[in-house]
């Protein structure tokens, strides 16, 4: 029998599209209407693998364990895997709990409880993507809006250091460039689109104005724009970051002419030279634009609930990520307490990676450290981190096999629904058992 689920959420990227129509037959999802190619691949790709039938980007069937990382995995029971994970974490002097981007807020809450119990460092993937955005917001705040406001009101859109055509495929049609809203019934025809990047992208291909910035010069270009905006074009040289003064003046004219403008920015801005100072400067530019018109700024968040972890961690500990519980109270100092900082200093003696693939995205030195220490992975998917793990605990997929809450890139929280049943426990169930067993070991 076929069941149709309407208005389901896609749990791939930070757009969290909530108009997906799912067709389920015999507890299998056979169709995901409206989802883009990335979302469909995740929602429809659910075949589970055993230890001997291993591939990449596919889901794992049974818990796996090995003592020596050069050995093959052997299948074990959930109890055995969770016992071993609890033992490894409980005896660790400097445990690291990292990931959380593709898990629900309810999972994040349990993870923070576990970190507190262990005196661990807990960090999420934002420390290698929009962590610098958080630092800039601490200093300056951020004039922002919801994606709904942007759809209904924006007439000038800047994409800076991001490429939504490939990374957030429905962003332009649902929320920005092509979307039609209450005051934007002309859609694309009523908007000016500017793309700023170090090289041409698919997004710059649909822009009215492409600004090619020399790599590492974003801060200079933003500063030049601010000088022109404040009426001091004479202090700007003929070229800044390889962008001509003429083009910078043209960009400011477009930005000032907006009725409602927005700058969407990505890792091209947060992870290039000057990092959080780029965002700090961009926030100042947007604040100053508000003397002329309405302007907002928004980070293009990657994983579907990377933003959710920052929310939960802030309301639980006071800090958005990179929280160190080793002093008995939350301590936060990115540069000292983020996952790569402690791995770089070779402090970590055991790690748990959940709902993320650290081995695919961390610098080589950090991955080498993770490969040396006992490593626990909690994830439905086989990925690069599995290759260097000792204990692998597969779980139900949030938003497909388990319900929960997630935060869209604009900070709007949405409810994830369970669409099919799973033979696997949820992340929450595994974490609750881990907490109980860690407490038991510590009290022995």
Distance CA 428, CA 234 (A): 59
Applying CB under 6 A, among 8, 22, 29, 39 the residue interacting with ligand SF4 is: 39
CA distance 170 to 178: 10
Shortest distance, position 15 Cβ to ligand SF4, whole Å:
4
- By the rule CB under 6 A, 12 interacts with ligand SF4: yes
**Strand ranges, E, within 149-269:** 156-160, 192-197, 209-212, 239-240, 243-244, 260-265
Please, what is the end-to-end C-alpha distance for the chain in angstroms? 52
Which residue, 36 or 375, has its beta carbon nearer to ligand SF4?
A: 36
Helix (H, G, I), strand (E, B) or coil at 307: helix
Nearer to ligand SF4, 35 or 86 (CB): 35
Nearer Cβ to ligand SF4 (98/175): 175
Q: Which residues pair with 294 in a beta bridge?
A: 260
Nearest distance in Å: CB 42, ligand SF4: 7
- By the rule CB under 6 A, 97 interacts with ligand SF4: no
Q: Does 36 bind ligand SF4 (CB under 6 A)?
A: yes
The CB-of-398 to ligand SF4 minimum distance in angstroms stands at 14
Tell me which of 8, 17, 322, 398 binds ligand SF4, using CB under 6 A. 17
Closest distance to ligand SF4 from the beta carbon of 153 (Å): 21
Per-residue burial over 18-31, b if 16 or more Cβ lie within 10 Å, else e, is bebebebeeeebeb
3-state secondary structure of 406: strand
DSSP assignment, residue 231? T
Answer for which of 21, 24, 38, 371 binds ligand SF4 (CB under 6 A) is 38
Q: Give ∠ CA 90-92-96 in degrees, rounded to 5.
A: 100
C-alpha to C-alpha distance for 60 and 392, rounded to whole angstroms: 9
Q: Are 80 and 65 contacting, i.e. CB atoms less than 8 angstroms apart?
A: yes
Among 8, 13, 112, 136, which residue interacts with ligand SF4 (rule: CB under 6 A)?
13
Stretch that binds ligand SF4, among 9-17, 249-257, 362-370, 396-404 (CB under 6 A): 9-17
Pattern 164-203, ligand SF4, x by CB under 6 A: ----xxx---------------------------------
Smallest gap, in angstroms, from Cβ of residue 36 to ligand SF4?
A: 3
Between CA 203 and CA 165 the distance in angstroms is: 6
Q: Beta partners for 424?
A: none
Instruction: Point out which span in 36-44, 200-208, 226-234, 430-438 binds ligand SF4 (CB under 6 A).
Output: 36-44
159 binds ligand SF4 (CB under 6 A): no
The nearest distance, CB 209 to ligand SF4, in angstroms, is 24
**Exposure class string for 343-355: b at 16+ Cβ within 10 A, else e:** beeeebebbbbbb
Applying CB under 6 A, the span of 7-15, 59-67, 76-84, 150-158 interacting with ligand SF4 comes to 7-15
Can you tell me which of 10, 82, 402, 416 binds ligand SF4, judged by CB under 6 A?
Answer: 10
Give the Cα separation of 111 and 430 in Å (integer). 10
Which DSSP category does 264 fall into? Answer: E
Of 38 and 227, CB closest to ligand SF4: 38
Is there binding between residue 16 and ligand SF4 (CB under 6 A)? Answer: yes
277 by Cβ neighbours in 10 Å (0-12 / 13-18 / 19+) ranks as middle
Taking CB under 6 A as the criterion, the residue among 29, 35, 129, 252 binding ligand SF4 is: 35
Least separation in angstroms between residue 21's CB and ligand SF4 is: 12
Closest contact distance (angstroms) between CB of 429 and ligand SF4 is 26
Length reported for the chain: 444
Contact 24, 34 (CB under 8 A): no
Please report, as ranges, the residues that interact with ligand SF4 according to CB under 6 A.
Answer: 10, 12-13, 15-17, 35-36, 38-39, 168-170
């Amino acid at each position: 029998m076929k069941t149709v689920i309407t208005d389901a959420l896609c749990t791939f990227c930070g757009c969290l599209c909530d108009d997906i129509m799912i067709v389920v037959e015999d507890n299998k999802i056979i169709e995901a209407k409206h989802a883009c190619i990335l979302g469909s691949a995740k929602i429809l790709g659910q075949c589970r693998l055993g230890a001997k039938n291993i591939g990449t980007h596919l889901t794992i069937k049974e818990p796996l364990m090995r003592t020596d990382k050069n050995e093959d995995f052997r299948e074990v029971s959930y109890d055995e895997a969770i016992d071993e994970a609890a033992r490894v974490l409980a005896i660790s002097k400097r445990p690291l709990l990292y990931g959380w981007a593709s898990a629900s807020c309810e999972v994040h809450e349990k993870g923070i409880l576990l970190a507190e119990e262990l005196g661990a460092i807990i960090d999420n993937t934002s420390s290698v993507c929009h962590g610098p955005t958080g630092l800039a917001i601490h200093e300056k705040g951020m004039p922002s809006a919801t994606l709904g406001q942007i759809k209904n009101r924006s007439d000038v859109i800047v994409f800076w250091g991001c490429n939504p055509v490939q990374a957030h495929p429905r962003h332009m049609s649902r929320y920005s460039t092509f979307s039609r809203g209450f005051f934007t019934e002309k859609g694309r025809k009523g908007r000016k689109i500017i793309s700023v990047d170090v090289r041409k992208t698919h997004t710059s291909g649909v822009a009215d104005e492409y600004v090619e910035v020399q790599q590492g010069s974003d801060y200079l270009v933003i500063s030049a724009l601010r000088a022109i905006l404040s009426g001091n074009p004479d202090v700007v040289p003929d070229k800044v970051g390889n962008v001509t003064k003429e083009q910078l003046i043209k960009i400011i004219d477009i930005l000032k002419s907006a009725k409602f403008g927005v700058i969407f920015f990505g890792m091209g801005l947060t992870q290039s030279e000057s990092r959080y100072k780029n965002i700090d400067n961009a926030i100042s530019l947007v604040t100053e634009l508000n003397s002329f018109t309405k302007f907002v700024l928004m980070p293009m968040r990657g994983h579907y609930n990377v933003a959710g972890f920052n929310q939960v961690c802030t309301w639980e500990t006071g800090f958005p990520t990179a929280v160190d519980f080793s002093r008995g109270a939350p301590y936060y100092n990115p540069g000292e307490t983020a996952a790569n900082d402690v791995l770089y200093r070779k402090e970590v003696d055991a790690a748990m990676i959940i709902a993320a693939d650290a081995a695919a995205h961390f610098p080589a030195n950090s991955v080498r450290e993770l490969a040396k220490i006992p490593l626990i992975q909690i994830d439905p998917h086989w990925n690069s981190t599995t290759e260097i793990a000792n204990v692998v605990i597969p779980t139900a997929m949030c938003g497909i096999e388990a319900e929960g809450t997630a935060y869209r890139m604009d900070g709007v929280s949405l409810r994830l629904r369970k669409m099919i049943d799973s033979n696997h426990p949820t992340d929450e169930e595994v974490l609750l058992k881990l907490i109980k067993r860690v407490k038991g070991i510590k009290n022995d």
